[in-house]
Amino acid sequence: FGPENINIDVPENGTYRIGVHAFNGRRADSNVTVRVYCGARSTVPDATFGPVLLHGPNRQSQNDFWRVADVTFVGNDCTIADLAENGQPNIGKAFEAEMAR
């Protein structure tokens, strides 16, 4: 399924966190790729993350939550900080992400 898009046409100055919650009603895993575009007319991603395999809910575990990147906007500029840990995707369980909010 997909793609899913989130667009912030006029972002306020500040930092936005990108995360992916692996949830689907089929209890299936998903391969996820995140592309970040800065600027209204950009056709080439400023950063690409993935593909990453996220596990959906099953009887043994909760579904995954991938902390992808922080995007900081100042005026018309944006910087992207990868949240990978030791070169690996920063993946936890969805309930952990909810508790950390």
Using alpha carbons only, give the angle 9, 30, 80 rounded to the nearest 5 degrees: 35
- Judged against a pLDDT cut of 70, whether residue 92 lies above it is answered with yes
For the cut 90, the answer to whether the pLDDT of residue 95 exceeds it is: no
pTM score, whole prediction: 0.85
| 85: DSSP letter | B
Nearest CA to 92 among 60, 59, 58, 55?
Answer: 55
What's the CA gap between 27 and 57, in Å, rounded?
Answer: 5
Do the Cβ atoms of 63 and 96 come closer than 8 Å?
no
Residue 91 pLDDT more than 60? yes
